[in-house]
Amino acid sequence: MSSIVYSQLNEQQKKDILFKMYIEQQLSLADIAKKLHTYANKLRRDASKFDIRLRDKSKAQKNALKSGRHKHPTKGTERDDDTKSKIGYGVLKTWENLSDDEKAARQEKAKKNWQNLSEDEKEQILKAANSAVRQTSKTGSKLEKYLHEQLLKDGYKVDFHKEQILSNTKLQIDLFLPTMNVAIEIDGPSHFKEVWGKDVLNKNINYDNKKTGLILGKGLVLIRIKQEMDFSKTRAKLVYDKLLVKIKDIANKFPGPGNREIKIGDNEL
């Protein structure tokens, strides 16, 4: 324990010791208060008076975790799926309850964060994204895999990335329920936004229109899921619940020729 008593120091000494311990040594105000036999709020007021910039809460927490003064509240904690789902649903509802102005402000902040990245950092992120897209085209997206897994759990026969059903083509159906004559397509952002440019978008639109014609032409029902949001198990669960309603409706009454294309948007849930 330090023998220095903060209240016995003059103004310059207080400023010097605060700068040294808070700025250079990165100690917290609470820790400094203990060492100098005072209290944190007094140090906080003096730091402001001495123009010593206080760390925000996030920075202070990172320093405390890094130094080992505090343990991470969740690190090493195993959560069950139900708990994860509740947390995810809470985050989802928080976002949905934000006003348009608050959402716009957060989006603008994210845009500025991207602009502040170095060209090398941007290049690395884009390379990783391109790699993920190529891998997804071969193995299926996270949402496709999630829906496939849940349908199997609920006892449905499901073909994953079925190609043979569309004879004489190499077009694949993302998920196909052969006993119900139902095709399910999951359309990510590149199917309706210029993610990779206008030419690629037009190519994807033409591809989707061709596939839609072939599927409906075979007398199948087509359920198209528009995935506008990033994957999360919470949102995927909501998508699946709505998909299940549509599938059960089809099982009860197979739709007529003019009603066999059904659309679900993940931002409408």
Between CA 73 and CA 70 the distance in angstroms is 9
Binned at pLDDT 50, 70 and 90, residue 86 comes out as low
Under DSSP, the state recorded for 170 is -
Between CA 22 and CA 52 the distance in angstroms is 9
Give percent of the chain with pLDDT exceeding 70.
75
* Tokens found for residue 110: 């994210």
Burial category of 42 from C-beta neighbours within 10 Å (exposed 0-12, middle 13-18, buried 19 and up): middle
**Stretch 130-147: mean pLDDT:** 68
Binned at pLDDT 50, 70 and 90, residue 121 comes out as confident
Between CA 122 and CA 101 the distance in angstroms is 27
Q: Which residues contact 72 (CB under 8 A, 6 or more apart)?
A: 65
Binned at pLDDT 50, 70 and 90, residue 167 comes out as low
DSSP characters over 176-192: EETTTTEEEEEE-GGGT
Is the pLDDT score of 164 beyond 50? yes
Going through the chain in order, the beta strands assigned E by DSSP cover 159-162, 173-177, 182-187, 221-226, 261-265
Helix 233-252, helix 142-153: angle, nearest 10: 50
In three-state form (DSSP H/G/I as H, E/B as E, the rest C), the secondary structure along 47-93 is HHHCCCCCCCHHHHHHHHHHHCCCCCCCCCCCCCHHHHHHHHHHHHH
pLDDT of residue 110: 77
Q: What 3-state class would DSSP assign to 26?
A: coil
Between CA 83 and CA 152 the distance in angstroms is 23
The predicted-structure confidence for 193-227, as pLDDT tens digits, reads as follows 876 778 888 888 998 999 999 999 999 999 999 98
* Tokens found for residue 64: 């405390």
What's the N-to-C CA distance of the chain in angstroms? 58
